[in-house]
Amino acid sequence: MASTPSQPLRMILIGPPGAGKGTQAPNLVEKFDAAHLATGDMLRSQIAKGTALGVAAKEIMDNGGLVSDDIMVGMIKDELTNNPACKNGFILDGFPRTIPQAEKLDQMLKEQGTPLQAAIELKVDDDLLVARITGRLIHQASGRSYHKLFNPPKVPMTDDVTGEPLVQRSDDNEESLKKRLTAYHDQTEPIVDFYKKTGIWSGVDASQQPATVWEDILKALN
């Protein structure tokens, strides 16, 4: 499956924390000129714009709750309808996380006439993820990610592009990661079987060097 002007890229990236979604998504955006729809970015955007969905989501989050599946699917629908960057397709990152979410997303996309073409799973063992995550550095404004050992910035703790400082997320520690991995295995891994049944799933060994992972993603998409 190659993305063309008449057939924009429509895919999701699946993978545990530290699998490399934040590294590979910008490559996909550049290659296919598609929009990167990350869950956190969409929430922040809708809240900042004061949309009905954003107001509802903020109220739930302020009360310590989880934003409903319907609100998240509504946000994605809004992005696909109103975000010019989506004209050449989209890469969904961080959603769906559960089978009910996957079912709601599929229903909405089919109603829009834009069904998913690919679900790429980045596969990595938990032990390697712990090593990756505890050394991860983030440029907050862009979401670019680095690693103290595996992918260090040219200047320590400094973004290569802007020269702005990098940060380490407060939840990028071993104890927090193990909780997040447990949640991923329990809640999100089952959607792999869901997409295998639809015939759009491909698995990529994400323990390799980022450039090799990228080559394997392109092979899966073609």
Show which residues are catalytic. Answer: 21, 97, 136, 169, 180
Is 136 part of any known ligand binding site?
yes
Is 209 part of any known ligand binding site?
no
Is 128 part of any known ligand binding site?
no
Is 7 part of any known ligand binding site?
no
Residue 90 φ/ψ, nearest 5 degrees? -155, 155
Is 208 part of any known ligand binding site?
yes
Do the Cβ atoms of 182 and 176 come closer than 8 Å? no
Q: Is 146 helix (H, G, I), strand (E, B) or coil?
A: strand
Q: For the chain, first and last CA: distance in Å?
A: 4
Is 45 part of any known ligand binding site?
no
Is 39 part of any known ligand binding site?
yes
Is 96 part of any known ligand binding site?
yes
At CB < 8 A and 24+ separation, what contacts does 130-134 make? Answer: 130/174, 130/177, 130/178, 132/18, 133/17, 133/18, 133/172, 133/177, 134/172, 134/173, 134/174, 134/177
Which residues does the annotation place in the binding site for ATP?
18-23, 136, 145-146, 208
Which residues does the annotation place in the binding site for AMP?
39, 44, 65-67, 94-97, 101, 169, 180
Which residues does the annotation place in the binding site?
18-23, 39, 44, 65-67, 94-97, 101, 136, 145-146, 169, 180, 208
